[in-house]
């Protein structure tokens, strides 16, 4: 095993936990370990920590504390938003509008609502850059529509969606609007009123908190049935003893992320732009996926025709670079990614995808290193690739 530092460029998958976050969490494992529902002091301390975390997160996104529910992850937040609103509104209508580029936490929940519960799902298209046209959302609305769900920023291609415009349309028509902000949390400013959202999902491990903790913002008055029943925690909307240390950690992490956003976002953007320019310049046939500028600050994603994405990752790993294809399905075995397909990138071209997502520890040197090692990897793979080489030029 090499002792060289791994150049981690997969921050859209997960992030390391910030040591300041660990420090904030530690007392809640061993000293302040009470159950927040217990009446004695230890319990009250844990309760106070949760309510302080709720207040912090609410303030950071322009919400009120009682509109924040803590969950176990971004997936649970998405599931609760969709299923919770669908179940609560099923007598009003059974039509949901979403997009083909959502995370599986949204798409698979919609598919189940359709298959098992008789809901109808409309997937509004996206353009070549992965952008949703708000007018398409407006046109898809019917008297039966009970929910619209469009992600804030896409995990695979980084495109930032026009959430405020879509939210405005949903608001005018009186339809609850959910956004999956798992990739946006801590990276893009969030103001639930300016965005006109009624439900918003967050996940701690995307912004330097641990894996296994999330939050769902639910605007007061939004119909929502709990999907997890039991105790009365989280305002009777999400049963289960709260994960106190992780909740404390998530609030601390979000606070730190927004405190440094004004410096960190432009820094990441500069590194990202250098990476994009370098890759497009040095690798023939490389194509950027997602919008050129309206994208997450540290997110660069590409397709390289004529190669397999999984093979690129293996070679990068040998060069001590941790990256991703951008999608769990973007390998030759499981077929092309539905997100790329929805953007018109099909067949063999879509198989050679690569996502490089930058974060706090990445430096200019890291970017230059990747720009040195990546072109020969693609060249070598193209030489040996069983995939049609002309795909590179399409």
The pair of three-digit structure tokens given for residue 16, joined into one six-digit string: 């390391």
Window contacting ligand PLP (CB under 6 A); options: 55-63, 68-76, 315-323, 349-357: 68-76
CB 275 within 8 A of CB 367: yes
Of 45 and 161, CB closest to ligand PLP = 161
Minimum CB distance to ligand PLP, residue 341 (Å): 17
Length in residues, the chain? 394
Query: What is the distance between the alpha carbons of residues 216 and 73, in angstroms, rounded to a whole number?
Result: 9
CB 228 within 8 A of CB 83: no
Who's near 93: CB < 8 A, 6+ residues apart? 142, 143, 144, 145, 146
Of 182 and 312, CB closest to ligand PLP = 182
Minimum CB distance to ligand PLP, residue 101 (Å): 10
Of 205 and 252, CB closest to ligand PLP = 205
- Of all residues in this chain, which one has the CB nearest to ligand PLP in the complex? 74
**Calculated CA dihedral for residues 141, 144, 147, 148, nearest 10 degrees:** -20
Of 27 and 100, CB closest to ligand PLP = 100
**182 near ligand PLP (CB under 6 A):** yes
Catalytic positions are 329
Minimum CB distance to ligand PLP, residue 105 (Å): 4
CB 313 within 8 A of CB 283: no
Nearest alpha-carbon partner for 327 in 164, 100, 147: 100
As a 3-state breakdown, the chain gives helix, strand, coil percent values, each rounded to 5, of: 45, 15, 40
Q: What are phi and psi of 286, to 5 degrees?
A: -75, 140
Contact map string, positions 209 to 238, toward ligand PLP, x by CB under 6 A: -----x------------------------
Who's near 17: CB < 8 A, 6+ residues apart? 208, 209, 210, 249, 253
Contact map string, positions 142 to 181, toward ligand PLP, x by CB under 6 A: ---------x---x------------------------x-
Specify which residues 324 forms β-bridges with.
355
Please identify which residue in 145, 149, 183, 233 interacts with ligand PLP, judged by CB under 6 A.
Answer: 183
Q: By CB under 6 A, what part of segment 69-128 binds ligand PLP?
A: 73-75, 78, 103, 105
Of 108 and 267, CB closest to ligand PLP = 108
**15 near ligand PLP (CB under 6 A):** no
Please identify which residue in 89, 179, 203, 327 interacts with ligand PLP, judged by CB under 6 A.
Answer: 203
Give the DSSP H or E segment for 288.
Answer: strand 286-288
Of 214 and 278, CB closest to ligand PLP = 214
CB 253 within 8 A of CB 233: no
Minimum CB distance to ligand PLP, residue 42 (Å): 29
Binding residues for ligand PLP, rule: CB under 6 A, are: 73-75, 78, 103, 105, 151, 155, 180, 182-183, 203, 205, 214
């Amino acid at each position: 095993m090499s002792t060289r530092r791994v150049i981690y460029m997969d921050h859209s998958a997960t992030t390391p936990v910030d040591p300041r976050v660990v420090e904030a969490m530690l007392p809640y494992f061993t000293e302040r370990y009470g159950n927040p529902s217990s009446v004695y002091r230890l319990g009250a301390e844990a309760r106070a920590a949760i309510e302080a975390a709720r207040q912090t997160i609410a303030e950071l996104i322009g919400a009120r504390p009682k509109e924040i529910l803590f969950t176990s992850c971004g997936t649970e937040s998405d599931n609760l938003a969709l299923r919770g609103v669908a179940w609560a509104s099923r007598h009003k209508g059974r039509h949901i509008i979403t997009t083909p580029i959502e995370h599986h936490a949204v798409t698979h929940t919609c598919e189940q609502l359709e298959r098992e519960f008789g809901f109808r799902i409309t997937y509004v298209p996206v353009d070549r850059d992965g952008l949703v046209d708000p007018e398409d959302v407006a046109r898809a609305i019917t008297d039966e529509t009970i929910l619209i769900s469009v992600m804030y920023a896409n995990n695979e291609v980084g495109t930032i969606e026009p959430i405020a415009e879509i939210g405005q349309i949903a608001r005018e028509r009186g339809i609850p609007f959910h956004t999956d902000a798992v990739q946006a949390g801590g990276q893009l400013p969030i103001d639930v009123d300016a965005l006109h959202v009624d439900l918003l999902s967050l996940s701690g491990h995307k912004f330097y908190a641990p894996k296994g903790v999330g939050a769902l913002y639910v605007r007061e008055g939004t119909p929502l049935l709990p999907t997890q029943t039991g105790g009365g925690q989280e305002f009777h909307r999400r049963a289960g003893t709260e994960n106190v240390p992780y909740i404390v950690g998530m609030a601390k992490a979000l606070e730190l992320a927004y405190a440094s956003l004004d410096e960190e976002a432009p820094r990441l953007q500069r590194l990202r732009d250098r990476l994009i320019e370098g890759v497009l310049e040095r690798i023939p046939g490389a194509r950027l996926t997602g919008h050129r500028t309206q994208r997450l600050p540290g997110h660069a994603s590409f397709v390289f025709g004529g190669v397999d994405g999984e093979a690129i990752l293996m070679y990068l790993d040998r060069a001590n670079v941790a990256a991703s294809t951008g999608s769990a399905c973007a390998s030759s075995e499981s077929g092309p990614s539905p997100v790329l397909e929805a953007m018109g990138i099909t067949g063999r071209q879509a198989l050679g995808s690569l996502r490089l997502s930058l974060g706090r520890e990445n430096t200019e040197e890291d970017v230059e290193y990747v720009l040195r090692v990546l072109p020969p990897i693609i060249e070598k793979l193209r030489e040996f690739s069983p995939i049609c080489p002309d795909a590179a030029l399409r």
